């Protein structure tokens, strides 16, 4: 080891540079594909309407001065403020329901060697195969029986139907990686099975749980059909439905406000994602790179 400790600084820098170049070169196409549309949406969000229809103008820059009026429109001429609050509340409750059901289910399926566990796991997955375009009709009945029609609470009830299966399987994977030994040690120390789960397994599985929360959050924002069918009152709508139904008026698209409305919820979620991802991935990779 000792002989290798201090390599020539120059060659190391070279190597480092080469590695960086390789990584950047690899990332460039991804960045272009992922970011260009976002950049373009952001530009559109602060463009004046007439500027959008100038055929010979550079579409990703301004010919007329940029404007905040599209944002202004969102907050003053639509219920956008309420949509954001609804989206946050829906996502919060959906995540809560999902975690409370998927964590125990994932753990049970991964760890407890239950008879039929495999079939139950597959059964939970199967629910994903039922298309929403048909499912929303019987669910409308459920929603109205619960007296939740035209309230965002309807979506709190419905969204877990697709977040629970996904998160259960995701968490199953995480729980499998927790070594049996630490759980057994805890049980020897006098914890019951439940105590071991609570005190030992959950604390080491938090990256998985946070991932599940983030996914519940994002999946909730991908729905359009359920919200369309169950919520028609403007102030009760979540952001995606509100934006897609109230910023297109007949053949007039409020392009600027549409884009602004999407970015205002999409970008913060991306940042949150990144913060959490960063925490646990740096942890591992940090160890890996040493």
Partner 1 sequence: MSHGRSVETLSPTLDRRSFLKTTGVAVAGATLGDMLAARQAPAQTKGTNLRILVWSHYVPAYDVWFDKFTKEWGEKNGVKVRVDHIPHLELPARYAAEFAAGAGHDLIYFVGQILTGQYYRNLVDLSDVAEGLGKKYGGWLESSKSAAQVGGAWYAVPDFFISIPVLWRKDLFQTVGMGEPKTWDDLRKTAGQLKAKGHPTGMQFSHCNDANHNWRALMYCYGVKETDPSGQNIAIDSKEMREALKMGKALYDEGMTPEVFSWDDASDNRFLASGVASWIHDAISAFHSTRITNPKVFEQTFVVPEVAGPGGKWNVGEPNVWAVWKFSKNVAGAKEFIQHIADNQKEAMEASLGYNMPFLKDQYKKPMPYLGKDAKLSALQDQEKITAFLGFPGPMTPPAQEVVTTFIVPDMFTKVARGASIEDTMKWGVGEIRRIYAKHKAS
Partner 2 sequence: MSWWRTPTARRYLFGYTLLAPAVLYVGLLVGVPFLFSLYLAMSDASVGSPVARFVGIENFASALENAVFYTALRNTIVFTVGAGILKGLLGTTLAFLLLQPFKGRKVIRALVVIPFTLPIAVSVLGWKWMFDSQFSVINWALSRLSLIGTYGSPDWPVWLGQPGLALLSVMFVNVWRGFPFSAIVLLAGLTSVPPEILDAAKVDGASFLQRFRKVIVPMIAPILFIGSAFDTVFTLSDLSIVYLLTNGGPDGATEILPTLAYNTGIRGGALGRGAAISLFLFPLLLPAIILLLRTLRRRQY
Sites for partner 2 among residues 71-100 (CB under 8 A): 97, 100
Of 64-72, 73-81, 113-121, 148-156, the window that binds partner 2 (rule: CB under 8 A) is 113-121
Query: Is residue 1 classed as helix, strand or coil in its secondary structure?
Result: coil
Shortest distance in whole angstroms from residue 211 CB to partner 1: 32
Task: Say how many residues touch partner 1, by CB under 8 A.
Answer: 28
Q: Which residues 206-235 are close enough to bind partner 1 by CB under 8 A?
A: 225, 228-230, 232-234
Q: Which whole-number Å values give the CA distances from 194 to 109, 166, 184, 239, in the listed order?
A: 15, 23, 12, 39
Distance, in Å, from the CA atom of 103 to the CA atom of 271, rounded to the nearest integer, reads: 25
Q: Which of 13, 63, 126, 203 binds partner 2 (CB under 8 A)?
A: 126
Q: Does 204 bind partner 2 (CB under 8 A)?
A: no
Tokens for 40?
A: 């373009």
**Does 122 help bind partner 1 (rule: CB under 8 A)?**
no
Among 255, 273, 261, 281, which Cα is nearest to 219's? 273
* DSSP three-state, residue 7: coil
Of 2-10, 69-77, 148-156, 158-166: span binding partner 2 (CB under 8 A): 158-166
Exactly one of 248, 275, 281, 284 binds partner 1 (CB under 8 A); that residue is 248
Cα–Cα distance for residue pair 98/83, rounded to 1 Å: 22
Residue in the structure block whose two tokens are 């053949």: 251
Token duo for residue 165: 């299966």
Round to whole Å and give the CA distance between 165 and 277. 22
Give CA separation, 55 vs 59, 213, 254, in Å: 8, 44, 18
- In the bound complex, what is the minimum distance in angstroms from residue 66's beta carbon to partner 1? 19
| 3-class DSSP assignment, residue 54 | coil
The interface partner of residue 182, options being partner 1, partner 2, none and the CB cut-off 5 to 8 Å by kind, is none
Among positions 128-187, residues that touch partner 1 (CB under 8 A) are 136-138, 140-141, 143-144, 149-150
Judged by beta carbon, residue 77 or residue 282, the one nearer partner 2 is 282
Residues of this chain that interact with partner 1 (CB under 8 A) are 49-50, 53, 55, 136-138, 140-141, 143-144, 149-150, 225, 228-230, 232-234, 245-246, 248-253
């Amino acid at each position: 080891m000792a002989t290798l400790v201090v390599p020539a600084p120059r060659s190391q820098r070279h190597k480092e540079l080469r590695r960086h170049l390789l990584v950047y070169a690899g990332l460039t196409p991804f960045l272009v594909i992922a970011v260009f549309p976002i950049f373009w949406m952001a530009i559109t969000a602060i463009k004046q309407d007439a500027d959008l229809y100038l055929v010979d103008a550079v579409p990703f820059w301004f010919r007329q001065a940029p404007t905040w009026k599209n944002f202004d429109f969102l907050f003053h001429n639509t219920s956008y403020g309420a949509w954001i609050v609804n989206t946050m509340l829906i996502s919060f409750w959906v995540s809560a329901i999902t975690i409370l059901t998927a964590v125990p289910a994932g753990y049970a399926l991964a760890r407890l060697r239950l008879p039929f566990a495999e079939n139950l796991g597959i059964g939970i997955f199967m629910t994903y195969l039922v298309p929403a375009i048909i499912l929303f009709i019987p669910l409308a009945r459920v929603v109205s029986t619960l007296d939740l029609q035209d309230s965002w609470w309807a979506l709190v009830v419905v969204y877990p139907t697709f977040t629970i299966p996904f998160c259960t399987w995701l968490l199953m994977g995480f729980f499998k990686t927790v070594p049996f030994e630490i759980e057994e040690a805890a049980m020897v120390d006098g914890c019951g099975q439940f105590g071991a789960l609570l005190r030992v397994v959950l604390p080491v599985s938090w990256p998985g749980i946070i991932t599940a929360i983030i996914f519940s959050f994002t999946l909730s924002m991908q729905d359009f059909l359920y919200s369309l069918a169950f919520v028609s009152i403007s102030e009760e709508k979540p952001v995606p439905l509100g934006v897609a139904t109230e910023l297109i008026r007949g053949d007039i698209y409020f392009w600027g406000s549409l884009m602004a409305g999407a970015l205002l919820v999409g970008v913060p979620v991306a940042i949150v994602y990144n913060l959490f991802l960063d925490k646990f991935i740096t942890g591992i990779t940090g160890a890996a790179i040493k």
